[in-house]
Structure 1
Amino acid sequence: MNILKLGLPKGSLEKATIQLFEKAGWRIKPAARNYFPKIDDSELDCSICRPQEMSRYVESGLLDAGITGKDWTMENQSEVVMVCDLVYSKVSNRPTRWVVAVSGDSDIRKIEDLEGKKISTELVGVTKRFFEERGINVEIEFSWGATEAKVVSGLADAIVEVTETETTIRAHGLRIIHELMESNTQLITNKKVWEDPWKREKIENIALLLQGALAADRVVGLKMNVPKGKVQKIVDVLPSLNAPTVASLYHTEWFSIETVITKDVVRDLVPQLKKLGAEGIIEYPLNKVI
């Protein structure tokens, strides 16, 4: 039997990744103190590893494919195939940012002011290349964690740290002076694996369903009953992916209208639909939109 070795990220993205796979159609059951969770797909063999290491394992062939951040693939300078972007996170479902931050009361206002200074970060390789390309001489020190505290305690003049909402950075009294790069989660695969017809199709199917699940997170289905004379007014105000579905109800002068819309318009749209004559309005979640 053909088997695809798939790496799943450990840490902050682990729970969100398992939830995304469940929405896409796979049930993953983590085991306590076990890095090999069970999945209800006999063609998949899953391993959990740190995102920082994922691209190296995929590049070497220890894993056929994996989910990791664009930042760590760049950090490792791994030669892998990026199959698709999967923009999700534990907080905001938007890309993360690596930023340069200093103490709020620091005289450092721009990256050029860091000449000769010490920077603490987990993203050593990317940070080093960034400053070298700009001819700014800095000392870069690897941080094992609690990076924000390095500036506060005087162990570094600045940090390069990842953020989604800037909450932790602000909580430590730090100030962002530059955005180094934007990153998001990606599905990557080994170059030789990508040339294997069966594995490539399996990976492409996984990508399709994961992206469909992510797309469904931003929309909902909306269904309602409308009298014949008010159908056009309702259709005129309904946004949709293509066009709403309109079907006549059996032996009546009423119609059923169904559409898919973004979540952010529902709260304003439903009262408007009610005023225009819609009844039995139902909003329902979607698992996938493909």
Structure 2
Amino acid sequence: MSLIKLGIPKGSLEEATINLFGQAGWQIKPRSRHYYPEVDDPELSCALVRAQEMAPYVANGTLDLGLTGLDWILETQAEVVEICALTYSKSSNQPSRWVLVVPQDSPVRTVKDLEGKKVATELVGFTRRHLAEQGVAATVEFSWGATEAKVVEGLVDAAVEITETGSTIRAHGLRIVADLLYTETRLIANPAAMDDPAKRTKIEQIATMLQAALAARHKVVLKLNVAAGDLDAVVALLPSLHAPTVSHLYDGRWLAVETVVDAQAVRDLIPRLRAAGAEGILEFELRKMV
């Protein structure tokens, strides 16, 4: 019997989550028409669960651990332990946001202007509470999908919808009035599981390795050779967690330098390093960084 029952979000985050676990060291293999993927760890069992339902299943002990968005934790108000934030998705590494959208020609300019209006959203509970906090009385109805289309067709006055860039919203001829919530994936645990020493140790192991895998996605290792006389100029260009590692080559006039840098900086950094005298520059991807 497995020690930890893990919930994998089914749907848009499924593949990205399985890939993240793979980088962290766990191979999870979905099975056709099956809600229980295989995993290469006898202490784990997996279940595919919709992100919207994850927090309640973790809260009631059906699952010990799961991944879901902050939005669905707030929506369900489930009593779970938030272990850590994990910012990743199928398309970007930026948090998504729930926004209030209206037609371009709508008189609605602020949340306060929703008084007496009709709003469609999947995030019904959160939206109702947010409007109540603003002192706004509006009708909030659940949308099963195609929420933006309901605004376009005039079925509702506004919608609260999730987006990353806002490009799809603009493509539909809609206008973003306000950001209501920034959300990202959370690793959540059942409170009773966290009180169990064995389960807590396993959960903390999983959290550490997932965070290490995500941190590594933004960094690369650079290795290079440099003549002793050019060392100071080259090292001055190199950002590092602490300081670059420098070691002597067999030819005492040359040194080997190794450091970790931001992946996005490499395209500008390598030409500058070469101009400063660096040779044999190599770039390596990281799998994990703790």
Q: Which TM-score band applies after superposition, normalised by the shorter structure?
A: over 0.9
Corresponding residue for residue 111 of structure 1? 111
1:144 is matched by which residue type in structure 2? W
Q: Is contact 1:28–1:37 with CA below 8 Å preserved after alignment?
A: yes
Matches within 5 A, 1:76-87: 76-87=76-87
Matches within 5 A, 1:1-290: 3-290=3-290
Cα offset, 1:2, TM superposition:
5.2
State the distance in 2 between where 1:91 and 1:147 align: 21
Q: Is contact 2:52–2:72 with CA below 8 Å preserved after alignment?
A: yes
Cα offset, 1:5, TM superposition:
0.3
1:64 is matched by which residue type in structure 2? D
State the distance in 2 between where 1:263 and 1:104 align: 39
The CA deviation string for residues 137-191 of structure 1, in whole angstroms up to 9 with x for no partner, is 1001100001110101111100000110111111111101111111110000001
Identity %: 56
State the distance in 2 between where 1:225 and 1:39 align: 42
Cα offset, 1:252, TM superposition:
3.5
Structure 2 alignment gaps of length 5 or more: none
Aligned residues: 290
SS in 1 for 2:284: strand
Q: Is contact 1:120–1:141 with CA below 8 Å preserved after alignment?
A: yes
Cα offset, 1:250, TM superposition:
2.3
Q: Is contact 2:87–2:185 with CA below 8 Å preserved after alignment?
A: yes
1:133 is matched by which residue type in structure 2? E
The CA deviation string for residues 15-72 of structure 1, in whole angstroms up to 9 with x for no partner, is 1101111111111111111111111111110111100000000000000010000100
Q: Is contact 1:119–1:156 with CA below 8 Å preserved after alignment?
A: yes
Q: Is contact 1:56–1:76 with CA below 8 Å preserved after alignment?
A: yes
Could you state the TM-score of these two structures normalised by the residue count of structure 1?
A: 0.98
State the distance in 2 between where 1:266 and 1:126 align: 42
Q: Is contact 2:75–2:125 with CA below 8 Å preserved after alignment?
A: yes
